[in-house]
């Protein structure tokens, strides 16, 4: 048959020559060879955890669970959506989505129960965010006093439910615009920035042992936004508002890991708070090429190495470990392949980069 000589030729060709014609073959040729367990490596290197985001629907996938449930691989789990205030259909699996005081914890409990069974700690995510906020909150026409009480009740209910299981809470998520100003949404519009101290105090009262974080993206670059974060934390500290950590989301692009990551982390930890890489993924233009995958390995390695070089960097969380459930393709058109496991759960070179980073 006509295709046979072609197939034979492809098999005999060195992978690099076959690259333009068969990306899968080439990618496989340079696949992960590491047998490391990443949480085990992280803790051996002095970090508290290596973890991953998990979304409700992922928990029905046996191949996914086999990797997730391995505590040597992941010692920490973050609910990608289930602990948020609301989530749009078709996954209405959030905590107070439709009316004041009507809490639903089905999806969040499922993740928390599985984590407990596996011996994995949680990062709570999150008490307040401008996104995935239900319209009953945003458009309810509440007074400042009512909104303050709604926020306090929401965060206290959430945080106390998982008390004792949570290493750290992203109490405030994404408070800043790119220019360092506070985002405009119902809480800033009605309460000003005092919503931040209100919610941090509520979280502390609900679980005094959880570390309280403010989490944001693009603060990995030095500039107006990271300066705003520094100033916010200083100001909270000067008012004796509880604040323990700053989360650097770290949603990066291949070849563009910020050179400032280490210096920014050091500026933050110099304030006496800890830092964590909370939502790491490193996206590329699709289809993935061998060159991009090789660069992605270097990028993952450099992020982990940076956390290793900053003693106050306590751990790293992937924003899901497999391309199968990554949020990137659904959010950034034409981008993806951002995770260390591919969509068939094979480890990519990026996995080896992470392992090498922890061993550096």
Interface residues with ligand XIL (CB under 6 A)?
Answer: 80-81, 173, 249, 279, 327
CB of 91 to ligand XIL, least distance (A): 8
Query: DSSP for 294-346?
Result: HHHHHHHHHHHHHHHH-TTEEEEEES-SBGGG-SHHHHSTTEE--SSB-TTSP
The burial of 314, by beta-carbon neighbours within 10 Å (0-12 exposed, 13-18 middle, 19 or more buried), is given as buried
277 vs 356, which CB is nearer to ligand XIL?
277
CB of 176 to ligand XIL, least distance (A): 13
Give yes or no: 309 in active site: no
Nearest to 318, CA basis, from 344, 348, 290, 291? 348
CB of 144 to ligand XIL, least distance (A): 26
3-state DSSP assignment of residue 288? coil
- Token pair for 227: 């300066």
- Using Cβ positions, the residue closest to ligand XIL within the complex turns out to be 327
**How far apart, in whole angstroms, are the C-alpha atoms of residue 181 and residue 140?**
25
Beta bridge partners of 77: 52, 122
23 vs 329, which CB is nearer to ligand XIL?
329
**How far apart, in whole angstroms, are the C-alpha atoms of residue 107 and residue 206?**
21
41 vs 111, which CB is nearer to ligand XIL?
111
CB of 255 to ligand XIL, least distance (A): 21
| Alpha carbon 114 to its chain's center | 19
96 vs 352, which CB is nearer to ligand XIL?
96
CB of 7 to ligand XIL, least distance (A): 40
Catalytic residue among 96, 174, 220, 279: 279
27 vs 86, which CB is nearer to ligand XIL?
86
Report, as residue numbers or ranges, the catalytic residues.
279
């Amino acid at each position: 048959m006509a295709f046979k000589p072609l197939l034979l030729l492809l098999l005999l060709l060195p992978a690099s020559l076959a690259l333009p014609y068969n990306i899968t073959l080439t990618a496989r040729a340079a696949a992960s060879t590491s047998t490391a367990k990443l949480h085990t490596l992280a803790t051996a290197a002095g970090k508290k955890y290596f973890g991953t985001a998990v979304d409700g629907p992922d928990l029905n996938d046996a191949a996914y669970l086999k990797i997730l449930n391995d505590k040597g691989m992941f010692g920490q789990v973050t609910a990608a959506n289930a602990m948020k205030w609301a989530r749009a259909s078709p996954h209405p699996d959030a905590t107070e989505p439709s009316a004041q005081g009507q809490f639903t914890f089905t999806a969040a409990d499922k993740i928390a129960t599985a984590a407990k069974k596996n011996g994995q700690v949680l990062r709570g995510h999150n008490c307040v965010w401008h996104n995935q906020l239900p319209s009953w909150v945003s458009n309810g026409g509440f007074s400042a006093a009512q909104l303050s009480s709604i926020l306090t009740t929401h965060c206290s209910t959430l945080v106390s439910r998982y008390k004792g299981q949570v290493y750290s809470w992203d109490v405030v998520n994404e408070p800043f615009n790119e220019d360092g100003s506070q985002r405009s949404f119902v809480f800033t519009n009605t309460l000003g920035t005092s919503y931040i101290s209100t919610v941090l105090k509520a979280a502390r009262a609900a679980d005094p042992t959880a570390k309280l974080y403010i989490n944001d993206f693009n603060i990995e670059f030095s500039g107006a936004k990271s300066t705003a974060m520094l100033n916010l934390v200083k100001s909270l500290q000067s008012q004796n508002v509880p604040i323990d950590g700053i989360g650097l989301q770290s949603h990066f692009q291949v070849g563009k890991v910020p050179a400032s990551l280490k210096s920014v982390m050091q500026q933050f930890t110099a304030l006496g708070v800890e830092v964590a890489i909370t939502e790491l993924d490193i996206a590329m233009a699709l289809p993935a090429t061998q060159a991009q995958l090789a660069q992605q390995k270097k990028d993952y390695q450099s992020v982990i190495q940076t956390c290793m070089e900053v003693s106050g960097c306590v751990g790293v969380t992937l924003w899901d470990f497999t391309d199968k459930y990554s949020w990137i393709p659904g959010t950034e058109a034409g981008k993806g392949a951002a995770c260390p496991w591919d969509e068939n759960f094979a480890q990519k070179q990026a996995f080896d980069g992470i392992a090498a980073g922890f061993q550096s």
